[in-house]
Structure 1
Amino acid sequence: MSCIENLHKAYILTWIGDYETASKLAKECLQLLSDSKQIRKKIREIVINTNRNYEIAKKLREEGITTTDLIQLALYTLARKFSIRQENNIEIIERNDIKISIIKNSLTNELRGYCEGCKGYKYSLLKKGNGYFIVYNEIIYAEFSEGDTNEIIEEIIKSIKF
Structure 2
Amino acid sequence: MAAVAPLLAGCAGGSDLLSKDAEWFNKPTRLFIKNISIDAPPLTPEKPVTADDLVSADGACPGMVPPGAPADANASSAPAPSGGTVALGHTECDVVRGIGAPSSVNLSNDAGGRRVAVVTWMTGPRAGIYTFTSGRLSSIEGTPEQPAAPRAKPKPKKKQTG
Structure showing the higher helix proportion among its residues? 1
Between Structure 1 and Structure 2, whose CA radius of gyration is higher? 2
TM-score by length of 1: 0.22
Give the TM-score normalised by structure 2: 0.22
